[in-house]
Amino acid sequence: MEVWFLGTGAGRPMKHRNVTSIALKLPDPDCSLWMFDAGEGTQHQLMRTPLKLGKLEALFVTHLHGDHTYGIPGLLSTRSYVGGNGPLQLFGPPGIREMIETAITLSSTHLDYEITYHEVSEGVILKTERYTVEALPLEHRVPCFGYRITECESPGKLNVERLQQLGVPAGPLFGRIKKGEDITLPDGTLIRAADVASTPLCGRTIAIAGDTKPCDNAMRLAQNADLLIHEATFAAGQEEKAHLYGHSTTVEAARTALEANAKRLIMTHFSTRFGDDDIAALEEEARTIFPNSSAAYDLYHTEVPRAKG
């Protein structure tokens, strides 16, 4: 499971920093791509990575401000040209369908695939065999949502050699044991799953807080998360200005991570007032509160490890 930061800026693009977009590359067997926001120029950034637009299966939009949405029509159009003919799920606040369909219709854009729109509200918005996605409203100048992605627990690895010694035939019984079921063989032998399979792997949790002031729902999103991605538009000491525009500072993002017991914080969505030389100082501000903090930069990517339960 990899997270890629395609853009880490707020408001408008800069030479060294594009506007907001995050990509989540899911592991085997899915190997699909999910994206969170797509500001202007996102598809250009995507071409500078090994990620494949044709693998995009879901796009989650936090809110309708242009620095999070203006790249969507072009991204959807290009997807048709790079083999992305499967259906796409598009999640966002009320108005997301009107925004995208208006752009597609007025530009006479033809898509070779179906888009299913989901105008989200609080609660679980997507549940698959392997993942659950929950949305919670945040506090910004327009309706804005954060997303919490939870991976299901994965069965442990089977001790095939031991199963063969016990006379368990390969096939459906292996599958039942892998799911944690105890089985009884025709001769009455009880095979306990715990004795022939390793400890299950815990699912990972990623929380993505869109533009927001510090709030209770940001804390709920981040609770015990393996990774919290949180906006940090302003620096410490600029809280009044940050809150006026519905944003957070570095230390406020760090306090959210600390109080929510998150394992790791990555900050993004930095104001255009900050150049590359300022990012290290912003990072240090957060680390005074939450040591495992870092500041993302464009095309930065990281793995989210999966710990054993």
Nearest to 4 by CA among 26, 13, 281, 12: 26
Question: Which residue is catalytic, options 28, 30, 67, 278?
Answer: 67
Q: What's the order of all strands across the beta sheet hosting 265-268?
A: 123-127, 131-137, 145-151, 205-209, 227-231, 265-268, 293-295
* Structural tokens at position 113: 């695939």
- In this structure, the number of other CB atoms found within 10 A of the CB of residue 268 comes to 26
Our measurement of the distance from residue 18's CA atom to the centroid of its chain's CA atoms, rounded to an integer in Å, reads 18
Strands (E), 152-214: 183-184, 190-191, 205-209
Per the annotation, the verdict on 187 as an active-site residue is: no
Contacts for 161 with CB less than 8 Å, ≥ 6 apart:
none
Task: Measure the CA angle with vertex 38, ends 140 and 92; round to 5°.
Answer: 55
Q: How far apart are CA 265 and CA 263, in angstroms?
A: 7
Catalytic residue annotation: 67
